[in-house]
Amino acid sequence: MGMAFESDFALLDQYAEGEERAFEQLVVRHQRIVYYMALRIVGNHDDAADITQQVFLKALADLKRFERRSSFRTWICTIAVNLCRNHLKRTKKMEWVELSGEERDRGETSPESLIKRERDRRVREAILELPERQRLTLILRSYHHMSHQEIAQVLNINENNARVNYFHALKNLKSTLIRKGGIDEL
C-alpha cells in the first residue's frame, strides 16, 4: 500500500487510541474529494455539502466496521456514492453544476473558449443521460482519476464490470453526442 494509505491507517490508529484530532485530520485530508464527487453526482452545492458532512458522520459511526481491505479514501467514497444515490432517489432530481474552473472560463469570450464551453455543456448533458452505473463509473474514472479496482470497490462490483461499465459509458456518451450533433469525437 502507498504512503497515503499507511498515513490514513496511522491516523485511524491514533483516533482509536483516543486522539480526537486524528479523525479531524482525515476529514481535512479527504473532504475535498468527497465534496466534489458528491457535487458531480447530485449537482447542487448545498446538497453536496450536506452529503459531505453526512459521509464523515457515518464514517465515524461505522469506523469499527472498516476492515482496511481498501484505502480509507475508497471506503469514504463508497459511503459518499451510496448517500448520493439515496439522495437522488428521494429528490428524483439531478442536474450538473459548473465547478470553479468552468465558472472562470465563462468570463472568456474568445472563439476557442466559447466553443470549449459549448462542447463541455453538451458533454455534461450527455453524461446525465447515461444509466446510473455507467455515469458513476465515468465520473469516478474521468473526474476523480480512480482506478478500475477502486471503482469496483466503491460501486460494489467486480473490476471487470467496472472496466465494461467505463467502456460502455464512453461508447454511449460518444453515441449520444453524435446523435445530438455537434461533436464527432471525444
What pLDDT band is residue 148 in, cutting at 50, 70 and 90? Answer: very high
What pLDDT band is residue 150 in, cutting at 50, 70 and 90? Answer: very high
Q: Does the pTM of the predicted model rise above 0.85?
A: no
The pLDDT score that the predictor gives to residue 151 is 95
Q: What is the mean pLDDT of the chain?
A: 86
CATH numeric code, 1-96: 1.10.1740.10
Copy the grid coordinates of residue 34.
468527497
Domain residue ranges in the chain? 1-96, 98-186
The pLDDT score that the predictor gives to residue 104 is 47
Q: What are phi and psi of 98, to 5 degrees?
A: -85, 140
For domain 98-186, the CATH class is mainly alpha
**Mutual angle of helices 20-42 and 45-61, in 10-degree steps:** 140
Q: Which residue has the higher pLDDT, 110 or 142?
A: 142
What pLDDT band is residue 123 in, cutting at 50, 70 and 90? Answer: confident
